[in-house]
């Protein structure tokens, strides 16, 4: 076998397209083995140059996070979802802005569902809900490595950076995490979330109010931290009285949150003892002597008789003085 044949046999699978001709087409493929080797080396250099160009372009994206447009129907709320109200004015405004923009400009974060179907929200429940109702894809960052604890922390931080949760929403959320043993204590949760233990304790006071007390307010979102602290202290002294009063107040939805709080705290205070009024009171005021009588003790038809008795008394005093 000739050298040409042996080279052709060894390099037969290294055939490369012929280099492009000046007219834009491709020239004829090299016929000789050395020509094919040269063409292969030229193609390798071109490929290496292209790889270098792509690597240089990729450097522009260092540190960036890819955003994907997902079908909102494939995404479900997290078990730690803490947004309970999608009917308020702020949600309507958010939904309008997303509609005008044709999608959410601030991406949400999701993670693959544990069951392998779709995604679970890490944060961005309101933006997801708006896109779902508008029938728009939702822009999302997919985090495949996030733990459940980190999911909770990121959701807490993201919400505090935007529209704050109501004290009641915060309390319910923190209480659920502690009940599920996501953290062993309030202190451990506080450190993970970057909060003081007092912040969490205050929120828990709201969530741990009796159901009857919460139902007495126009909305649980109306309960503030300071009011919850006062109610918690009052409940230790007069729980039955406050719960009973709350049950009565729940039947009157016209009351404001302030009125409800005042009424509940009033139910915890013992009634002041009835003041026993004197039948006859006499008080000197300057040149006057004021006589007070209980009206119920003097019949109407005997008032004139009383006036005459007093007038007679005054005459006797004046006569005695003369």
Q: What per-residue confidence (pLDDT) applies to 14?
A: 45
DSSP secondary structure letter of residue 254: T
CA distance 77 to 119: 9
Query: Taking a C-beta distance cutoff of 8 angstroms, is the pair 294, 279 a contact?
Result: yes
Q: pTM of the entire structure?
A: 0.54
Domain residue extents for the chain: 65-146
- Digit-coded pLDDT (tens) for 263-274: 999 887 765 555
CA distance 280 to 299: 15
Name the CATH architecture for the domain at 65-146. Alpha-Beta Complex (3.90)
Q: What string of H, E and C letters represents the secondary structure of 280-298?
A: EEEEEECCEEEEEECHHHC
Query: Taking a C-beta distance cutoff of 8 angstroms, is the pair 198, 233 a contact?
Result: no
The CA angle 156-142-171, to the nearest 5 degrees, is 15
- Digit-coded pLDDT (tens) for 40-88: 777 777 777 777 777 776 666 565 568 899 999 999 988 777 665 677 7
């Amino acid at each position: 076998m000739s050298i040409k044949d042996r080279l052709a046999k060894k390099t037969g699978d290294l055939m490369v397209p012929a280099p492009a001709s000046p007219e834009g087409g491709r020239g004829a493929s090299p016929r000789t083995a050395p020509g094919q080797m040269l063409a292969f080396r030229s193609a390798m250099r071109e490929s290496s140059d292209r790889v270098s160009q792509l690597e240089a372009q990729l450097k522009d994206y260092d540190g960036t996070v890819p955003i994907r447009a997902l079908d909102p129907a494939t995404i479900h709320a997290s078990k730690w979802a803490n947004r309970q109200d999608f009917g308020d004015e702020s949600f309507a405004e958010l939904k309008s802005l997303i509609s005008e923009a044709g999608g959410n400009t601030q991406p949400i974060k999701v993670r693959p569902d544990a069951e392998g179907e779709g995604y679970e929200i890490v944060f961005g429940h309101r933006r997801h809900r708006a896109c779902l109702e508008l029938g728009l894809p939702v822009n999302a960052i997919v985090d495949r490595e996030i733990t459940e604890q980190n999911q909770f922390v990121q959701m807490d931080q993201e919400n505090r950076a935007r529209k704050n949760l109501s004290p009641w929403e915060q309390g319910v959320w923190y209480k659920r995490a502690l009940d599920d043993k996501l953290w062993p204590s309030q202190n451990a949760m506080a450190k993970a979330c970057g909060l003081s233990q007092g912040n969490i304790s205050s929120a828990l006071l709201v969530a741990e109010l009796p159901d009857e007390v919460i139902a007495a307010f126009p909305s649980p979102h109306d309960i503030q931290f300071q009011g919850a602290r006062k109610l918690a202290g009052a409940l230790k002294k007069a729980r039955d009285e406050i719960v009973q009063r709350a049950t009565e107040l729940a039947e009157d939805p016209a009351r404001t949150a302030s009125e409800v709080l005042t009424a509940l705290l009033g139910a915890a205070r013992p009634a002041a003892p009835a003041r026993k009024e004197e039948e006859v009171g006499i008080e000197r005021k300057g040149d006057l002597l004021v006589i007070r009588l209980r009206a119920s003790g003097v019949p109407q038809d005997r008032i004139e008789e009383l006036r005459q008795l007093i007038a007679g008394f005054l005459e006797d005093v004046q006569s005695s003085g003369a």
